[in-house]
Structure 1
Amino acid sequence: MAYDPLPIIEIKIDDLRLDLDNYRIPTRRSDEAAALKYLFASEDVLSAARLILQNGYFDNEVPIVTHDETGYVVLEGNRRVSALKALQDPTLVPGHDKEIRALLKRHAVESQELPTVIRVLVSPSREAAAPHIARLHSGLSKKRWSRDQQANFYYSLLDDETSVDDIKAQYSGVEVVRYIKMAVARRFLSGAHFSDHSLREYAISNDLKMSSFEYAYRNSDISAAVGLNFAGDGQLQPSSLRPEQIGSKLSSIQLSALEYLLSEFRAGRLNTRSSEFKKSSEEHQRLMNFLTKPAQPAAPGVRESDDSPTAPAMPVGPQGPEGRVSLPSEPTEDSGDANPAKSKTPDDLGSKSQATPASDPTTRGPNHPRTKNNLDLSGVEYDKVSVNLKYRYHELRSINIEIFPVAASMLMRLILESTIKFHFETSGTRAQGELSAIFPRVSDEYGQIKALKSTINSVKTGTVHRPGSIQWFNNLSHNGDAVVKADDVREAWNLINPLLRHLLRPWS
């Protein structure tokens, strides 16, 4: 091919527009200010600004731009241009303006030499620049794109005249369909109406890697359960709707399944090595049963969470021998009429009832953990613990987390700490102190067990925003303004549940 040099011209930084379709941006930003904010938050533009101040702006690799109706759009070099814009006017990035001003103050002399005009290479079109930009990021001289960024790049090439097959022909050897699936899955997630705002933020951010999430949706039964129906070219069906629109039209069952799946990824309980994604495994079948099981009417006296009798209403007193609270016996199938006090459920204590008589199942909501007022303690074998600790487990099982989320959280913290102490006391070497003081003992003892490693790490190092972590429990205990909702309680329980079950096993 003959050499046809593209023009290099000088343009004011103020006249350059960031690329709102930039493949570094997972979901298209609505304006330049939002794109600038995203790039600073996710692409470490602050480091680029620091290097420019320290070493000066060097244009051996000039930004690549194209001209459209909005002016000159930066196709390659958005980080550098973003850094220059922010250094010129820190108010453009409100969340980072203090850091930028501090840099400018520290490099007061160098900042006087910052350019207001830079050279750029002008491409006749976005399409003409695309293969050259891709080549720049495939070698070692540039930061390689993540799979998410590559996915957004290939997806951006689609239009009314360019099909997936056209892209495959142009980029032979590239898993184009796989990347298209990643891109549309991200956009699908951005359109879903999550009940938990923090879960939506996780779903559309780089924290959720599509290269991990694809292990779930590449299973056709899982993808169908959450509403992801892929065509052969990797795009979503129906093709008449954008992925965001499809995500916004999920049924309540599909949305509930999607939220559960993402919550498990966020908690680290699902990952690329999870057996749940192997169709031949029992874990996969259990996951599918959970995601797709239709609502079942609850029989009187039966818990929604399992087939065991409903937890009895726990009395505040009286106390038995040695000052301990006397525990009522577990109700039997025919004890409801004989002894009403023993057949009481959390609903009898004033909580909102979700169950209705079995003769009228149509008024029940779906039988899903996130629709229940009580935590599911099935599989947690606390029958061998001390009487008072057993009482606390019974009370946690009975408490209505919709009405008393803070109380449930505080009780959960107490149970975690008490169970750790009970566990090590039975080993012959006691653990003493508060939760943060005794948890390193758990980490040292069990932190290398594959099934518990993620859970222990999340509890130990999670922030105040991670339900179930030590910091989250402590913040709730000491910060009167801390807010906790029922879903936070459920998420905290999902995190510590496997650890409690392990700690409740007898020492071998």
Structure 2
Amino acid sequence: MKVDALSLDLNNYRFAVAQPDEAMAFNDLFEGEDVMSVARSLLHEGYRTNEVPLVVEEEGWYVVLEANRRVSALRALRDPSLVPNHRHKLEALVKRYQADADDLPDEIYVTVYPDRGSAAPVLARQHIGADKKSWGLDEQARFVLAQLAGGADVATLKATLTGIKDVPRLVRMGRVRQALHSTPFTDPALASYATGRELKMSAFEYAYKDRALRPLMGFEFDGDGNLVAQPRTPAQVAVLERLLRGFEVGELSTRKVLNDKKGADYAKLVDELQQLAGVVSPDAPAPIPTPPTPAPSTVGPPGTPPPGAPDAAPTTSPSGGGTDTKVPGAALVRPNHPDTKRKLYVTVDFSRLPSGLQKRFLELQRIDVEAFPAAAAMLLRSVVESSVKHHYAVRGDHRVSGTLNEVVRRLADDYKKVVKSLDKQISLLQNGLSPRLRPGSGDWFNAAAHDPNSVVNDQQVREAWQELEPLVRFLIQPPVSSTS
């Protein structure tokens, strides 16, 4: 078959989540699976014809089920623009080894299977054995779930997928990963970490398999590994988030705490999580009875709090027909004002972006703008510039490149006075708003990066982000399908 007629599998088990299009799939494979080394190998050693890709025909497309890394490398060497994030490196590589690149085949042999189900046992033998680059446990779990979705059951998989030692374990891993995608997290950055490559299920299973911790998170499984309960309540989500933060910063990733059930650190962790979940340990001392509050000397109308108590804030009743009064003395917790926080208030959803751009958003969300305002400004510039390039790349235009000034010029040509809500942000980046060094303007970004006399403070960074966040949100949203 023609190499250019082969499509990458957007549901490749190597992906943490299914990719929306081929550009994203190419970027993910090159960044997460080191396909650049495969490309170099093809140039140095040539294409080996004894390794035949496995293909299935779906809706008129020939989709590569096995050999996505090799096919993506072969296609990218023929057309580097297919991989926006690595285009320049590929172009340089091809130029350096032009004769070898010209010798790469236009057509290759493939084996076509009638459907994914018939190809599954072959894929399992190759990637859960030693024939190919082995799938990790996350990839094996996604593979197993795909077979279950295709109509197989666990008993059948145990009998047919002999390379897998513990099918229910992989089902649990896959179901937990799916549950994390639908968990109502309170922290978008933590949600991105939980559903991305960085969280390894082989480590996190030390938490969800733990008899003391599992019920606090709300996870429960049947004998086949399928979920019968998952985190839903605020308390369960709070426990889950606390554990995920521990894995994210390395506190729990070594497994020492969770693997030492008799250790002081484990006992301390369980006690902390029980408090988050509102569970009283059976060993905790009985609470001391609170003496009754004396009746106030002055009684007001019904619903009036006693003297000295805070005013009760009215809240709309569920029916919408009146107000309820909060319990006198209850604390009313409000979020901190964004301008009082040491970190930026990032609310955009960047969970489906390429991993490189995701990491920049995560850094932007976590950087201490009071301690590192200049670094935060330069990171913000990178996020804005990269978001513009990503916006055009996923729409098939890989020519938008260069500096912030150059990509904003293209943005202005396409959207200024067309999408009215973006006029202010585009004008700001083009230095069209006064003062000249207004936070978020092109001149302000340039001064922060290049002017040795420029001084950036934390409030300027906050103002710049607040001005540009609506534009960034627009840029990273997926393209709208042209079909109805």
After superposition, give the CA deviation of every residue in 1:361-400 in whole Å (9 maximum; x if it has no partner). Answer: 55545xxxxx997xxxxxxxxxxxxxxxxxxxxxxxxxx9
Q: Aligned with 1:237: secondary structure? A: strand
Report the Cα distance in structure 1 between the residues aligned to 2:158 and 2:54, rounded to whole angstroms: 24
1:121 matches 2:121: no
Q: State the shift of 1:16 in Å.
A: 1.4
C-alpha distance 287-67 of structure 1, shift in aligned 2 (>3 A)? same
1:405 matches 2:395: no
Report the Cα distance in structure 2 between the residues aligned to 1:62 and 1:361, rounded to whole angstroms: 72
Write the mapping of 1:278-297 to structure 2, written as runs, cut at 5 A.
Answer: 278-293=260-275
Give the match for residue 345 of structure 1. Answer: none
Give the match for residue 241 of structure 2. Answer: 259
Report the Cα distance in structure 1 between the residues aligned to 2:79 and 2:183, rounded to whole angstroms: 36
Query: Pick from 328, 349, 352: which aligns with 1:360?
Result: 328
Give the match for residue 312 of structure 2. Answer: none
For 2:104, give the aligned amino acid.
L
For 2:181, give the aligned amino acid.
S
Write the mapping of 1:65-214 to structure 2, written as runs, cut at 5 A.
Answer: 65-159=55-149, 161-172=151-162, 174-214=165-205
For 2:23, give the aligned amino acid.
A
Report the Cα distance in structure 1 between the residues aligned to 2:168 and 2:205, rounded to whole angstroms: 12
Give the match for residue 216 of structure 1. Answer: 207
Report the Cα distance in structure 1 between the residues aligned to 2:376 and 2:167, rounded to whole angstroms: 51
CA contact (8 A) 2:235 2:277 kept: no
RMSD across aligned positions (CA): 3.6
C-alpha distance 133-361 of structure 1, shift in aligned 2 (>3 A)? farther
Give the match for residue 51 of structure 1. Answer: 41
Report the Cα distance in structure 2 between the residues aligned to 1:107 and 1:115, rounded to whole angstroms: 15
Size of the aligned set, in residue pairs, is 319
Q: State the shift of 1:267 in Å.
A: 0.7
For 2:191, give the aligned amino acid.
R
CA contact (8 A) 1:23 1:152 kept: yes
Give the match for residue 375 of structure 2. Answer: 479
Report the Cα distance in structure 2 between the residues aligned to 1:183 and 1:193, rounded to whole angstroms: 18
If the length of structure 1 is used for normalisation, what is the TM-score?
A: 0.55
CA contact (8 A) 1:278 1:284 kept: yes
C-alpha distance 479-229 of structure 1, shift in aligned 2 (>3 A)? same
Report the Cα distance in structure 1 between the residues aligned to 2:108 and 2:116, rounded to whole angstroms: 20
Write the mapping of 1:301-316 to structure 2, written as runs, cut at 5 A.
Answer: none
For 2:255, give the aligned amino acid.
R
CA contact (8 A) 2:342 2:369 kept: no
For 2:199, give the aligned amino acid.
L
After superposition, give the CA deviation of every residue in 1:66-122 in whole Å (9 maximum; x if it has no partner). Answer: 222242121110101111222222222211111111111111222222322211011
Q: Aligned with 1:283: secondary structure? A: helix
Report the Cα distance in structure 2 between the residues aligned to 1:142 and 1:104, rounded to whole angstroms: 26
Give the match for residue 346 of structure 1. Answer: none
Report the Cα distance in structure 1 between the residues aligned to 2:114 and 2:276, rounded to whole angstroms: 56
Report the Cα distance in structure 1 between the residues aligned to 2:341 and 2:139, rounded to whole angstroms: 43
C-alpha distance 201-295 of structure 1, shift in aligned 2 (>3 A)? closer
Report the Cα distance in structure 2 between the residues aligned to 1:190 and 1:364, rounded to whole angstroms: 31
Report the Cα distance in structure 1 between the residues aligned to 2:233 and 2:111, rounded to whole angstroms: 48
For 2:53, give the aligned amino acid.
P
For 2:375, give the aligned amino acid.
N
Q: Aligned with 1:23: secondary structure? A: coil
Query: Pick from 24, 33, 42: which aligns with 2:14?
Result: 24
C-alpha distance 124-194 of structure 1, shift in aligned 2 (>3 A)? same
For 2:79, give the aligned amino acid.
D
Runs ≥4 residues deviating over 6 A = 463-467, 471-475, 482-485
For 1:226, give the aligned amino acid.
M
Report the Cα distance in structure 1 between the residues aligned to 2:202 and 2:43, rounded to whole angstroms: 36
Give the match for residue 378 of structure 1. Answer: none
Q: State the shift of 1:155 in Å.
A: 1.8
1:233 matches 2:129: no
Report the Cα distance in structure 2 between the residues aligned to 1:221 and 1:31, rounded to whole angstroms: 42
C-alpha distance 37-464 of structure 1, shift in aligned 2 (>3 A)? closer
CA contact (8 A) 1:66 1:125 kept: yes
CA contact (8 A) 1:21 1:156 kept: no
Report the Cα distance in structure 2 between the residues aligned to 1:464 and 1:34, rounded to whole angstroms: 17
Q: Aligned with 1:30: secondary structure? A: coil
Report the Cα distance in structure 2 between the residues aligned to 1:402 and 1:285, rounded to whole angstroms: 38
Q: State the shift of 1:262 in Å.
A: 1.1
Q: Aligned with 2:109: secondary structure? A: strand
C-alpha distance 136-176 of structure 1, shift in aligned 2 (>3 A)? same
Write the mapping of 1:389-400 to structure 2, written as runs, cut at 5 A.
Answer: none
CA contact (8 A) 1:464 1:472 kept: no
Q: Aligned with 2:56: secondary structure? A: strand
C-alpha distance 171-140 of structure 1, shift in aligned 2 (>3 A)? closer
After superposition, give the CA deviation of every residue in 1:470-505 in whole Å (9 maximum; x if it has no partner). Answer: x979971653626789xxxxxxxxxxxxxxxxxxxx
Report the Cα distance in structure 2 between the residues aligned to 1:90 and 1:38, rounded to whole angstroms: 15
For 2:55, give the aligned amino acid.
V
Q: Aligned with 1:206: secondary structure? A: coil
Give the match for residue 270 of structure 1. Answer: 252
Q: Aligned with 1:162: secondary structure? A: coil
Q: State the shift of 1:276 in Å.
A: 4.0
Structure 2: gaps of 5 or more residues: 279-325, 345-359, 381-457, 460-484
If the length of structure 2 is used for normalisation, what is the TM-score?
A: 0.58
Report the Cα distance in structure 2 between the residues aligned to 1:28 and 1:272, rounded to whole angstroms: 29
After superposition, give the CA deviation of every residue in 1:189-216 in whole Å (9 maximum; x if it has no partner). Answer: 2333444443333222322111101000
C-alpha distance 287-161 of structure 1, shift in aligned 2 (>3 A)? same
Q: State the shift of 1:44 in Å.
A: 0.9
For 2:27, give the aligned amino acid.
K
CA contact (8 A) 2:203 2:255 kept: no
CA contact (8 A) 2:39 2:74 kept: yes
Q: State the shift of 1:151 in Å.
A: 1.6
Structure 1: gaps of 5 or more residues: 1-10, 239-245, 297-357, 366-370, 374-399, 408-462, 486-508
CA contact (8 A) 2:206 2:258 kept: no
Report the Cα distance in structure 2 between the residues aligned to 1:403 and 1:57, rounded to whole angstroms: 58
For 1:476, give the aligned amino acid.
F
Write the mapping of 1:299-338 to structure 2, written as runs, cut at 5 A.
Answer: none
Report the Cα distance in structure 2 between the residues aligned to 1:196 and 1:406, rounded to whole angstroms: 13
